[in-house]
């Protein structure tokens, strides 16, 4: 990874700036006995080149070579694909220095030096140019190589590989259509057929000579050009091909996908060849210093005896596990060398290394090393072990984290063998969007009530719906997994699944559901309610029938309590990483939670309070919805007040539960927000049923439902507009909050309610609501004789609120950015309707990311930044937080760290993701607090990072 880029190169020109600029002075950097560059110069030398230099400096056996810098690549493109005049001379000097070190000459007729030409960008980039090996061979030098090694077959094998690679990569002899055969392979297969052999290794020296001849003919036919014999011409052709490959389609696609800047450019490495294909005392291989899947501290890798280059990965022969080399009679000594190298590399690079090597006549040569990619499981284990072993700095453990991947550790998993069997049996029905990672298996239920009923019988359930709505919530809670056939990753089902940590596959459009018949059909198969179904929310797969699952160990320890911490290795590693994150992060992490259960889970995962409690979810439970509906349908204030009085005790006891579960942590509670219409029954039967219960004629209900219908509910009668027009609703809610606070405080538990008024655009809206809140608070304190701390603030979720933030802060004690609505209103884009055009927008790079998943820094981000500044101007100690979905998104979290928010809030199961992302951002931005967060004093193992700025120092 492109971490330390202290020296040159980072400033390399952006598209066209070096046009007409002089070429860089030093373009060629040697490595070997004399090494010009070092490991910090990834920007200049590329990842491969910088690490070759680093290894050479460490005294590891690296075949000598040189790197042509990325600056030459940028210059080349800025100057109409022309090389700087002085490059040829510097390349020649570079070659001279290799020749001196190995004692062979390039193009020599007795003992020729051969080189490899390798591309190497800052980050490794599959899809770039393939490496060319054995460059420098021609009809004369091949015979010299044969004499020098007394091995004709070897020499000619090198030659045919070279002509093949060079013909393909540099001269463009490649298949034209996907279904064509590789032209060189076709020629080789033809020869094998003629000679009656099946394996490459059965080809004799004579066969190989014939093959080279045919390869060259192929090149001539294909390109109209002669294969170049002059080694220097070959070398310059290869260098130009590497630079050219920076802009081939594969490379561009890859850079777009992984957001690698196009102006970085690639370096070229030219390196003396070492041969793993000279006999049985030779080999080539790739290895990891630890197991990248489990993180276990074992040597992990593969090698092939008597092979060259890509043979290991190409799957021509099956490689052997590296540990087996210890038992190889000829190569066991080399294994000893490798073991030593393994330790040395980890010590020097402070992380697990993924490296490539070749053994030539029992001598080990190192050809590459880089930080190894790993699973989440391996990440926590390696971070734990290597930090404790003193090999990895805690800063690196944070910086190299992939916070998003923490989710992998929380998800139940399908039993592997069962899955394979199901796949083989053709039981995989279709694929939807992987909306909530993990594995779930259970009986199909097509309605929420059915799901609940089955769950009550102790059964596992998969709730299958066309789409879900708040009414389905109880069924969703009861189900092990949720499958919908409509809606995207930000649909209701997906949102709830994330908040609850539920397995969910959304929008599996190939499935058609017939609620009446109680069936779901897909690809000719029909399943009924009660049949078994398995869904994989990590892959989106929907599988017919039963598959065994297991709860993740982390949940067993932290949530279910069915496992002791000491029994779980994953837990120990995870816990270590999380505690480390807590020392390095500046941002607080809260949770979005509506029930005591969610609070307890979130706290177990490290949440420091509630950032968003949505009160409306509470109205769907049990009979409460009836009172709620009665309130909505009431004709006048008195009627509303009567219905609200029924709701008050419910809300009060809910808040009590939440305050108790919080044990003194703050709770930001949002007043009623959604349009009332959402709470009403929509079918005739439901309306009749309700009418019967609350003794109102069904027609009357139908009429009210009709009246309340809005053309654009998102912009309609909702948010604080409800409380402004019907203050009695707000009054009931805050009374419930404060009475609950008083009761809980009386029992000795601290409470910190923060009353949040939604959808404010005008200061006066907030003033009216705040007045009411303060009055009720005073009344409750008077009536109960109990004092409690509380705050009143607002959500900033309308552009007008961001603009008027300075005025709003006169009244608001805190802001919480509701970035979901703020994104919708700032972009004038409805999240639920964006599916039809947003993907195309992303392809066209109008919007790089989905703005509902990752904050739109240039637009919405500017509004957030502006509101922060204006808010602070009025009220320097204003508390700033974020409670939108973006609060759990690592790249958004980095932005929130930059603007200096006090906390982010996310769903309970994303809390670990947010903790780690916050720490990573602080380390990257240099905003690690001087003293660790709260009581957690930094242990001596971990020195806090450079920490130029203290707590809150990230403010602009
Ligand atoms: P990639 O970036 O695709 O990994 P490399 O440049 O690392 O490509 O080259 C691929 C393989 O070619 C290496 O793993 C090594 O086995 C072989 N190779 C490259 N340079 C040399 C060399 N100088 N001597 C021997 N083998 C080499
Ligand atoms: Mg490689
Ligand atoms: Mg909102």
pLDDT in tens, 60-103: 999 999 999 999 999 999 999 999 999 999 999 999 999 999 99
Ligand nearest to the CA of 116: 1
**Which of ligand 1's atoms lies nearest the C-alpha of 275?**
25
How many angstroms separate the CA atoms of 300 and 911, rounded? Answer: 33
In terms of Cα–Cα distance, which of 336, 347, 340 is closest to 389? 347
How many angstroms separate the CA atoms of 106 and 124, rounded? Answer: 29
pLDDT for res 13 = 40
Residue nearest to atom 16 of ligand 1 (CA): 309
From the CA of 874, how far away is ligand 3's center (Å)?
24
Task: Judge contact between 46 and 70, C-beta under 8 A.
Answer: yes
Ligand nearest to the CA of 822: 3
Q: Which two tokens stand for residue 870?
A: 């204006």
Which of the residues in the chain have pLDDT under 50? 1-16, 935-956
pLDDT for res 375 = 80
Ligand nearest to the CA of 672: 3
Residue nearest to atom 23 of ligand 1 (CA): 273
**What secondary structure does DSSP assign to 648-696, as a single string?**
HHHHHHHHHHHHHHHTT-EEEEE---S-GGGGS--SHHHHHHHHHHHT-
Ligand nearest to the CA of 46: 1
Task: Check if 98 has its Cβ closer than 6 Å to any atom of ligand 1.
Answer: no
Q: Which two tokens stand for residue 617?
A: 């979810």
Mutate to test the pocket of ligand 1, among 309, 312, 314, 372 (most ligand atoms within 8 A of CB): 309
Round to the nearest angstrom and report the end-to-end CA distance of the chain: 28
In terms of Cα–Cα distance, which of 315, 283, 267, 367 is closest to 61? 367
**Which of ligand 1's atoms lies nearest the C-alpha of 368?**
7
From the CA of 356, how far away is ligand 1's center (Å)?
8
Mutate to test the pocket of ligand 1, among 356, 359, 369, 372 (most ligand atoms within 8 A of CB): 356
Residue nearest to atom 26 of ligand 1 (CA): 309
Task: Check if 367 has its Cβ closer than 6 Å to any atom of ligand 1.
Answer: yes
pLDDT for res 314 = 58
Instruction: Give the SS3 label for residue 72.
Output: helix
**Which of ligand 1's atoms lies nearest the C-alpha of 286?**
14
CA angle 222–226–232, rounded 5-degree value: 125
Task: Check if 67 has its Cβ closer than 6 Å to any atom of ligand 1.
Answer: no
Mutate to test the pocket of ligand 1, among 63, 133, 168 (most ligand atoms within 8 A of CB): 133
Instruction: Give the SS3 label for residue 424.
Output: helix
Ligand nearest to the CA of 245: 1
**What residues are neighbours of ligand 2 (ion), with CB under 5 Å?**
356, 368
Residue nearest to atom 27 of ligand 1 (CA): 309
From the CA of 368, how far away is ligand 2's center (Å)?
6
**Which of ligand 1's atoms lies nearest the C-alpha of 63?**
23
Mutate to test the pocket of ligand 1, among 129, 269, 367 (most ligand atoms within 8 A of CB): 367
In terms of Cα–Cα distance, which of 858, 855, 783 is closest to 823? 855
In terms of Cα–Cα distance, which of 352, 341, 339, 336 is closest to 389? 352
How many angstroms separate the CA atoms of 496 and 435, rounded? Answer: 10
Task: Check if 411 has its Cβ closer than 6 Å to any atom of ligand 1.
Answer: no
Residue 956's contacts (CB-CB under 8 Å, 6 or more residues apart) are: 865, 869, 898, 899, 900
Residues catalogued as catalytic: 492, 883
Residue 558: DSSP 8-state: I
Residue nearest to atom 20 of ligand 1 (CA): 116
- Alpha helix ranges (H) inside 199-270: 205-223, 231-245, 249-258
Pairing of strands 503-506, 433-436: antiparallel
Residue tagged 């051969």 (tokens) = 114
- Alpha helix ranges (H) inside 789-861: 799-803, 805-811, 819-827, 838-843
Residue 328's contacts (CB-CB under 8 Å, 6 or more residues apart) are: 305, 335
From the CA of 32, how far away is ligand 1's center (Å)?
16
How many angstroms separate the CA atoms of 773 and 678, rounded? Answer: 25
How many angstroms separate the CA atoms of 139 and 399, rounded? Answer: 52
Q: How far is CA 343 from CA 336, 349, 467, 878, in A?
A: 11, 10, 54, 51
Q: Which two tokens stand for residue 444?
A: 């199909």
Ligand nearest to the CA of 313: 1
Task: Check if 282 has its Cβ closer than 6 Å to any atom of ligand 1.
Answer: no
How many angstroms separate the CA atoms of 827 and 840, rounded? Answer: 16
Q: How far is CA 225 from CA 172, 220, 518, 809, 836, in A?
A: 11, 5, 69, 75, 50
Task: Check if 368 has its Cβ closer than 6 Å to any atom of ligand 1.
Answer: yes
Residue nearest to atom 9 of ligand 1 (CA): 131
pLDDT in tens, 475-509: 998 999 999 998 765 577 877 776 676 889 988 99
How many angstroms separate the CA atoms of 326 and 386, rounded? Answer: 25
Residue 217's contacts (CB-CB under 8 Å, 6 or more residues apart) are: none
Q: Burial-class residue 543 by CB neighbours within 10 Å (0-12, 13-18, 19+).
A: buried
Question: In b/e form, how buried is each residue of 617-652, taking b as 16+ CB within 10 angstroms?
Answer: bbbeeeebbbbbbbbbbbeeeeebbebbebbbebbb
Task: Judge contact between 902 and 588, C-beta under 8 A.
Answer: yes
Q: E strands along 715-827, which residues?
A: 752-757, 791-796, 814-817
From the CA of 797, how far away is ligand 3's center (Å)?
6
Q: Which two tokens stand for residue 884?
A: 């939108």
Residue 725's contacts (CB-CB under 8 Å, 6 or more residues apart) are: 717
From the CA of 356, how far away is ligand 2's center (Å)?
6
Q: Which two tokens stand for residue 483?
A: 């499958």
In terms of Cα–Cα distance, which of 915, 924, 918, 885 is closest to 901? 918
Residue tagged 């806090």 (tokens) = 944
Task: Check if 285 has its Cβ closer than 6 Å to any atom of ligand 1.
Answer: no
Q: Which two tokens stand for residue 678?
A: 């959402």
Pairing of strands 461-465, 439-445: parallel
**Which of ligand 1's atoms lies nearest the C-alpha of 115?**
23
Task: Check if 274 has its Cβ closer than 6 Å to any atom of ligand 1.
Answer: yes
Please compute, for residue 618, the number of CA atoms within 13 A of its CA located in the half-sphere on the CB side: 28
**Which of ligand 1's atoms lies nearest the C-alpha of 65?**
23
Q: Which two tokens stand for residue 399?
A: 């910086």
Residue nearest to atom 6 of ligand 1 (CA): 118
Task: Check if 284 has its Cβ closer than 6 Å to any atom of ligand 1.
Answer: yes
């Amino acid at each position: 990874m492109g971490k330390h880029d202290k020296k040159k190169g980072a400033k390399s020109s952006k598209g066209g700036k070096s046009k007409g600029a002089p070429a860089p002075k030093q373009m060629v950097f040697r490595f070997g006995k004399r090494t010009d560059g070092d490991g910090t110069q990834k920007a200049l030398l590329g990842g491969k080149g910088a690490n070759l230099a680093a290894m050479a400096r460490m005294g590891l056996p690296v075949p000598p070579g040189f790197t042509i810098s990325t600056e030459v690549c940028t210059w080349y493109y800025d100057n109409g694909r022309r090389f700087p005049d002085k490059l040829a001379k510097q390349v020649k000097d570079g070659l001279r220095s290799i020749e001196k070190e190995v004692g062979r000459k390039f193009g020599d007729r007795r003992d020729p030096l051969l080189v490899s030409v390798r591309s190497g960008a800052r980050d490794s980039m599959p899809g770039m140019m393939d490496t060319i090996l054995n460059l420098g061979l021609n009809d004369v030098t091949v015979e010299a190589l044969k004499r020098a090694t007394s091995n004709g077959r070897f020499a000619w094998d090198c030659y045919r590989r070279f002509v093949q690679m060079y013909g393909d990569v540099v001269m463009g002899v490649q298949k034209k259509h996907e279904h064509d055969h590789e032209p060189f392979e076709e020629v080789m297969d033809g020869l094998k057929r003629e000679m009656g052999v099946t394996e490459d290794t059965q080809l004799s020296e004579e066969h190989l000579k014939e093959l080279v001849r045919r390869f060259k003919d192929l090149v001539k036919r294909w390109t109209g050009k002669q294969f170049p014999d002059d080694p220097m011409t070959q070398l310059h052709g290869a260098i130009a091909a590497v630079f050219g490959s920076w802009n081939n389609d594969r490379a561009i696609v890859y850079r777009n996908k992984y957001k690698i800047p196009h102006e970085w450019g690639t370096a070229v490495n030219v390196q003396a060849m070492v041969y793993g294909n000279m006999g049985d005392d030779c080999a080539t291989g790739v290895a990891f210093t630890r197991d990248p899947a489990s993180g276990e501290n074992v040597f992990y890798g593969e090698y092939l005896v008597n092979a060259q280059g890509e043979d290991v990965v190409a799957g021509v022969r099956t490689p052997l596990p590296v540990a087996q080399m210890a038992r190889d009679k000829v190569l066991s000594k080399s294994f000893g060398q490798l073991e030593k190298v393994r330790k040395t590399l980890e010590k020097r690079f402070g992380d697990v290394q993924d490296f490539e090597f070749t053994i030539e006549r029992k001598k080990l040569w190192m050809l590459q090393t880089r930080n190894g990619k790993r699973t989440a499981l391996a990440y926590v284990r390696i971070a734990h072990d290597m930090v404790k072993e003193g090999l990895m700095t805690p800063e690196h453990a944070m910086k190299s984290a992939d916070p998003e991947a923490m989710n992998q550790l929380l998800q139940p998993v399908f039993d592997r063998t069962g899955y394979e069997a199901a796949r083989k049996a053709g039981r995989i029905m279709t694929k939807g969007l992987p909306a909530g990672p993990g594995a779930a298996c259970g009986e199909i239920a097509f309605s929420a009530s059915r799901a609940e009923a089955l769950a009550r019988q102790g059964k596992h359930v998969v709730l299958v719906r066309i789409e879900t709505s708040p009414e389905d919530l109880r069924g969703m809670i009861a189900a092990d997994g949720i499958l919908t056939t409509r809606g995207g990753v930000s649909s209701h089902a997906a949102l709830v699944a994330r908040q609850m940590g539920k397995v969910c596959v959304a929008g599996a459009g190939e499935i058609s559901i017939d609620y009446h018949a109680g069936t779901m059909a897909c690809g000719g198969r029909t399943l009924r309610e009660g049949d078994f179904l398995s869904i994989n929310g990590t892959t989106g797969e929907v599988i017919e029938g039963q598959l065994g699952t297991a709860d993740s160990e982390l949940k067993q320890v932290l949530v279910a309590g069915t496992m002791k911490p000491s029994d779980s290795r994953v837990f120990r590693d995870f816990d270590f990483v999380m505690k480390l994150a807590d020392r390095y992060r500046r941002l607080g992490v809260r949770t979005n939670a509506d029930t005591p259960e969610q609070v307890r889970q979130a706290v177990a995962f490290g949440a420091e309070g509630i950032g968003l409690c949505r009160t409306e979810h509470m109205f769907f439970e049990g009979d409460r919805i009836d009172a709620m509906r009665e309130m909505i349908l009431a004709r006048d204030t008195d009627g509303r007040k009567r219905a609200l009085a029924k709701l008050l005790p419910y809300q009060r006891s809910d808040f009590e539960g939440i305050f108790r579960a919080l044990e003194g942590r703050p709770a930001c509670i949002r007043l009623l927000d959604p349009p009332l219409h959402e709470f009403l029954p929509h079918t005739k039967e439901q309306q009749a049923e309700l009418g019967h219960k609350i003794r109102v004629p069904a027609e009357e209900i139908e009429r009210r439902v009709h009246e309340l219908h809005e053309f654009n509910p998102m912009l309609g009668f909702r948010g604080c507009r409800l409380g402004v027009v019907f203050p009695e609703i707000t009054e009931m809610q805050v009374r419930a909050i404060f009475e609950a606070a008083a009761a809980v405080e009386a029992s000795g538990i601290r409470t910190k309610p923060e009353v949040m008024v939604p959808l404010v655009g005008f200061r006066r809206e907030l003033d009216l609501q705040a007045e009411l809140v303060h009055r009720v608070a005073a009344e409750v304190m008077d009536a109960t004789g109990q004092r409690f701390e509380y705050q009143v603030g607002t959500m900033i979720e309308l552009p007008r609120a961001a603009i008027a933030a300075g005025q709003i802060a006169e009244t608001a004690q805190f802001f919480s950015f509701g970035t979901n609505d703020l994104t919708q209103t700032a972009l004038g884009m409805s999240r639920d309707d964006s599916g039809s055009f947003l993907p195309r927008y992303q392809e066209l790079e109008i919007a790089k990311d989905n703005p509902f998943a990752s904050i739109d820094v240039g637009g919405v981000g500017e509004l957030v930044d502006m509101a922060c500044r204006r808010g602070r101007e009025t009220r320097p100690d204003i508390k700033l937080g974020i409670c939108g979905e973006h609060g759990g998104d690592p790249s958004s979290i980095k932005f929130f760290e930059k603007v200096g928010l006090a906390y982010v809030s996310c769903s309970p199961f994303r809390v670990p993701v947010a903790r780690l992302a916050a720490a990573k951002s602080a380390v990257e931005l240099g905003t690690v607090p001087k003293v660790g967060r709260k009581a957690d004093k930094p242990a001596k193992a971990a020195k806090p990072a450079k920490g130029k700025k203290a707590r809150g120092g990230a403010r602009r």
